């Protein structure tokens, strides 16, 4: 008795898993992942991670594959994308995973995406400042932003690549040149600062970090990171010594991890967690959920600077409302002036990279 046509197709699908590179990677020969889910694909949004094989990208890919709002997950990198794609694709969650390797496949990775998350770039090493990263990561972000402008200009973009204070202005300038810039759709991810602030404050208060909310404004590097400890929820008070210690630790949390890893990496796992948390908030906003508020580094008129991180309300089109700073105490007002001075130079550095 000859196997039926359906049975042959099932056998072919099973056999194809013995050669994941053929199965997973777009543009390769053999059975494609898209053909393996002819019907029954999960409803939701199409998400791309650019830099998916890196230290942040891999755990971020894992976490996004677990998000029930993701129907299609595209994993792009210039190296090792096939392995990460094969690995993540074996998870029994709804999102269909497709991999894309190298510059020639960037456009395919981006076409039709609703949300693009960018952790691409080199990580910080001991002794490295975020400015040291600029020379390398600025060019990477420019290339990826050009791809987004061409292939998915309406996508919401979550930019993680450091230095965020400069890379967000770089992406904005690329989009402006292409005529696709929508300030509501370009968001610098500063969630790790908020996650750290919540955790460190909870330690001092002796409570669960999930019960704490600390607004963190300004930027995403050193003194530009300004936790508003006077606005902590639940309301509480700190001694001047606690304020100094908490502010310093929140501002230098990245350095704390880099030094602890002693050359073996930077804050990749906590960053991936924070990025997934922020992306999930964006997806809930895109779905139409009400009251989705997060801090993010965005085009802003809250200060005289063109970009600034504050609380924003997320919705179907990205940033739908930007909240003011609220009342600041003297310590925070002084910190704000220091943050703005540092931030102005970083923003200009990013703008000049594209314009000059």
Annotated binding site: 51-57, 77, 124, 130, 137, 160-162, 196, 271
- Catalytic residue, chosen from 17, 19, 90, 220, is 220
Three-state SS for 67-119 is CCCEEEEEEEECCCHHHHHHHHHCCCCCCEEEEEECHHHHHHHHCCCCEEEEC
DSSP alpha helix (H) spans, 216-268:
240-251, 253-261
What are residue 32's phi and psi, to 5 degrees? Answer: -100, 155
Rounded to whole angstroms, how far apart are CA atoms 20 and 101? 14
The alpha carbon of 78 is separated from its chain's Cα centroid by a whole number of angstroms, namely: 18
Q: Any bridge partners for residue 194, and if so which?
A: none
Which of left, alpha, beta for 265 (phi over 0: left; psi -120 to 50: alpha)?
A: left
Q: Are 307 and 299 in contact (CB under 8 A)?
A: yes
Residue whose entry in the numeric block shows the structure tokens 């190298």: 102
Question: Annotated binding residues for substrate, as ranges?
Answer: 124, 130, 162, 196
Q: Are 157 and 48 in contact (CB under 8 A)?
A: no
Q: Are 156 and 284 in contact (CB under 8 A)?
A: no
**Token pair of 18, please?**
């013995």
The alpha carbon of 189 is separated from its chain's Cα centroid by a whole number of angstroms, namely: 5
Rounded to whole angstroms, how far apart are CA atoms 309 and 17? 45
Contacts of 344 (CB under 8 A, 6+ apart): 305
Does the annotation mark 19 as catalytic?
A: no
Contacts of 331 (CB under 8 A, 6+ apart): 240, 243
Rounded to whole angstroms, how far apart are CA atoms 245 and 59? 30
Supply the residues annotated as catalytic: 220
């Amino acid at each position: 008795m000859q196997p039926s046509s359906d049975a042959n197709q099932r056998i072919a699908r099973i056999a194809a898993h013995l050669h994941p590179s053929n199965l997973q990677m777009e543009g390769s020969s053999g059975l494609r992942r898209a053909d393996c889910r002819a019907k029954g694909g999960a409803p939701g949004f199409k998400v791309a991670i650019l830099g998916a094989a890196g230290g942040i990208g891999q755990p971020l890919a894992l976490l996004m594959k677990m998000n029930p709002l993701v129907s299609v997950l595209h994993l792009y990198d210039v190296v090792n994308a096939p392995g990460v794609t094969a690995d993540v694709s074996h998870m029994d969650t709804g999102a269909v995973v497709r991999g894309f390797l190298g510059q020639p496949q960037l456009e395919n990775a981006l076409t039709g995406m609703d949300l693009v998350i960018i952790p691409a770039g080199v990580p910080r090493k001991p002794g490295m400042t975020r400015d040291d990263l600029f020379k390398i990561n600025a060019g990477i972000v420019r290339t990826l932003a050009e791809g987004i402008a061409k292939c998915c200009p309406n996508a919401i973009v979550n930019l993680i690549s450091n230095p965020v204070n400069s890379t967000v202005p770089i992406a904005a300038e690329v989009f402006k040149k292409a005529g696709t810039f929508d300030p509501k759709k370009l968001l610098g991810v500063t969630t790790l600062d908020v996650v750290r602030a919540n955790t460190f404050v909870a330690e001092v208060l002796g409570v669960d970090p999930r019960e704490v909310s600390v607004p963190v404004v300004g930027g995403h590097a050193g003194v530009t990171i300004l936790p508003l400890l006077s606005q902590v929820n639940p309301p509480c008070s700190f001694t001047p010594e606690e304020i100094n210690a908490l502010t310093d630790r929140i501002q230098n949390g990245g350095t704390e991890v880099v030094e602890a890893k002693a050359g073996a990496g930077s804050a990749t796992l906590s960053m991936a967690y924070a990025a997934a948390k922020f992306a999930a908030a964006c997806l809930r906003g895109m779905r139409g959920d009400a009251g989705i508020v997060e801090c993010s580094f965005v085009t802003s008129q809250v200060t005289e600077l063109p970009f600034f991180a504050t609380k924003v309300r997320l919705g179907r089109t990205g940033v739908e409302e930007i909240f003011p700073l609220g009342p600041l105490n003297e310590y925070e007002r002084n910190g704000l002036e220091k943050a703005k001075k540092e931030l102005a130079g970083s923003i200009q550095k990013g703008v000049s990279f594209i314009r000059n």
